[in-house]
Amino acid sequence: MNRSQAAARIRELKDAINEHNRKYYVLNTPDISDFEFDLLLQELTVLEKKYPDLAGDDSPTRHVGSDIAPENNAFLQFPHRYPMLSLSNTYNKEELLDFHNRISKVSDQPVEYVCELKLDGTAICLTYKDGRLFRALTRGDGTIGDDVTRNVLRIKSIPERLTPAGDFPYPPEFEIRGEIVMPFISFGELNSAKEKNGEPLFANPRNAAAGTLKLLSADEVERRGLDCYLYHLIADVPGIKTHWQALETASQWGFPVSQYRRLCRNVEEIMEFLEYWDKARADLPIATDGVVVKVNSFSLQKTLGMTAKSPRWATAYKFKAEQAATRLLSVDFQVGRTGAITPVANLEPVLLSGTTVKRASLHNADQIALHDIRLGDMVYVEKGGEIIPKVIGVELSSRPGNAQPFHYITHCPECGSLLERDPGEAKHFCPNRWECPPQIKGRIEHFMSRKAMNILGGEALVEQLYDKQIVKDPADLYYLEPPMLEALENWGDKSTQNLLSSIEASKKVPFHRFLFALGIPFVGETTAKYLASHFGSLQALKDAPIEDLTEAPEIGIKIASSIRDFFENPVIGIMLDKLKDAGLPLRQDVTEKELMSESLQGLQFVISGTFSRSREDMKNLVQLHGGKVLSGVSAHVDYLLSGDKTGPSKLQKASAMGIRIIGEKDFLALIGELPSEGTLFENENKTTSF
């Protein structure tokens, strides 16, 4: 490789690594394994060593990846008092020996190490002041982190207040760092709930933990059952001279410190620890990906110091995810509930981590092309913390002569639509959202899900209802009769009763949940809440021109056009008519919902005439802002809300009684939905012309 080739490759590697860092730390959806990532990083490091002038300060070999989302960040950021570095890591024991040899040269005494299991989660830095948790920061870019204190307080194992116990008192202010993890059991529950709701799954517990820590709802954080293990005390406590002592002390103060650790007095003991846990970790309740080896003595740590990116006194030995080689027989293409296409390899059965693997994910078209994977190839299958094993490479040396490159599908295997792929997206998807069977099922499941209409059921029921063509869209649920359900498997009268009564009960869910249930692309729970309170009824939302939709700062043109497209779709029109005929209210119900404001508190209105929205919607708006609607003009009335065609006698009567008369625009200004035109209070007896 000459200099200019090296320069090009360095650029290519930097871009790839930065993108993988973003997927890993910000999006929490990595699409390559750690091992593959480390190989890229290693290649870059080697090239940069050879051509140091080509490296540049921005090289990912010199910085840790950042978990801070560059835009839309809902968290405050604070600088770390000491940079949060990452560890150098290795997959091979010789390098671990090199590490030990380098350190031995510096020390005139035998070196002690602490070996700790490296838990696979997301790093956290806690500051305690006067024995109370003061602040929790994510690693961020190593220098500045996101403040996630509110969420961290909901993790049971993290003490809000410390125990003043042990051999040493805790200092007035100090930091402690560790790892927040999601135990396998919580991970399984979370993903099965997501699956039921038709939401994308987390690839592994690590991404689930990182994603959960950045949630806006602390209640949801608590529900997800995160756990924490702390492993690095940064406190100036006279008398504590070793890392081992620091861990023991932290544990006495009430911190969760991992019991999976050992004080090792020589290399043999380190190797024993590695070998033991390489197998035993399979039985742990949490994901681990290696062992961290740290110099025990603080004074030796200080002598060794650190590089720009990592300390010289610690390294991580990573376990290789278990792999197996087997033959690729054929490839299926699965259409997910959201229309995303996943190529799935059918394999000659092979034993991997104690289970027989017959199918594995092939990621996407890019990965297949990158590895040049062909039918008949011997492929490597890996199983990490993930649920579905994946194909990570090909053994080219044993490629049979007849191995066939295969063509990625161009059309949806379920509905025949031409597949699309958004720029920057790895996956193809089927754009036929409303008529592609897996996507219809996904929509029905979403409609029934707990946060939407909360109808009992789940994937298996929807599968049967759809396949037997009993329910072809969400509206059909409201037309189910007991005899129609008789053909279902594992189904009895009791099930019928439960299902039908939960369907009946769903007619009363708040309107915003109904809007969320419709599954309008890009309309999540928050947007649905806004739409429900702002428009008040399905009809008003349906009629709203795009300018009205984008009035709210949280609704951009992408969401607005998606809403328009949704309502203009004839398939949707039919479904909405069926829902209406089934007796769903399709509007906000004033009695059960919170007020949007109290701007009309204590004011009484009479509504007369016609408006751009229905009379019912106007009435709702008055009530939503705390006002009352009376039926006739009387001395108790504060405002006559007058539209077109208000009877002249009513207007005269109101005017005579000193009742303020306002039109639709002024009313909307009054409740803050339109900017005030300044006419409202200038003339209290203002009448509309007629």
Catalytic residues: 118
CB–CB of 121/181 below 8 Å? yes
* Contacts made by residues 510-514, CB under 8 angstroms, sequence distance 24+: 510/588, 510/589, 510/592, 510/593, 511/536, 511/537, 511/585, 511/586, 511/587, 511/588, 511/589, 511/593, 513/451, 513/452, 513/453, 513/454, 514/452, 514/453, 514/538, 514/584, 514/586
User: Shortest approach of Zn ion to residue 193 CB, angstroms?
Assistant: 25
Cβ proximity to Zn ion: between 103 and 430 the closer is 430
Contact residues for Zn ion (CB under 5 A)?
412, 414-415, 417, 430, 432, 436
CB–CB of 430/339 below 8 Å? yes
Q: Measure the CA–CA gap between 137 and 124, rounded to whole angstroms.
A: 6
Q: Measure the CA–CA gap between 238 and 171, rounded to whole angstroms.
A: 10
CA angle 148, 152, 153 (to 5 degrees): 120
Cβ proximity to Zn ion: between 415 and 480 the closer is 415
User: Shortest approach of Zn ion to residue 563 CB, angstroms?
Assistant: 23
CB–CB of 339/429 below 8 Å? yes
User: Shortest approach of Zn ion to residue 442 CB, angstroms?
Assistant: 11
User: Shortest approach of Zn ion to residue 413 CB, angstroms?
Assistant: 8
C-alpha distances in angstroms, 145 versus 83, 123, 126, 149, 210? 10, 10, 11, 11, 13
CB–CB of 129/123 below 8 Å? no
Q: Tell me the HSE value of 356 on the side-chain side, using a 13 A CA sphere.
A: 3
User: Shortest approach of Zn ion to residue 504 CB, angstroms?
Assistant: 33
CB–CB of 426/364 below 8 Å? yes
Cβ proximity to Zn ion: between 436 and 622 the closer is 436
Query: Quick one: which H or E segment has residue 626?
Result: none
User: Shortest approach of Zn ion to residue 419 CB, angstroms?
Assistant: 8
User: Shortest approach of Zn ion to residue 359 CB, angstroms?
Assistant: 21
Cβ proximity to Zn ion: between 348 and 435 the closer is 435
CA angle 150, 155, 156 (to 5 degrees): 130
Cβ proximity to Zn ion: between 434 and 530 the closer is 434
Cβ proximity to Zn ion: between 136 and 340 the closer is 340
User: Shortest approach of Zn ion to residue 56 CB, angstroms?
Assistant: 45
User: Shortest approach of Zn ion to residue 333 CB, angstroms?
Assistant: 10
Cβ proximity to Zn ion: between 432 and 623 the closer is 432
Closest C-alpha to 61, from 95, 77, 78, 38: 38
User: Shortest approach of Zn ion to residue 417 CB, angstroms?
Assistant: 5
CB–CB of 179/231 below 8 Å? yes
Question: Helix (H, G, I), strand (E, B), or coil: what is residue 297?
Answer: strand
CB–CB of 211/227 below 8 Å? no
C-alpha distances in angstroms, 22 versus 18, 34, 163, 202, 447? 6, 14, 39, 16, 32
Pairing of strands 288-295, 390-394: unpaired
C-alpha distances in angstroms, 664 versus 474, 609, 681? 36, 10, 15
Torsion of CA 231, 235, 238, 244, to 10 degrees: 10
649-665 core/surface letters (b: 16 or more CB in 10 A; e: else): ebbeebbeeebbbbbbb
> Max Cα separation, the chain?
105
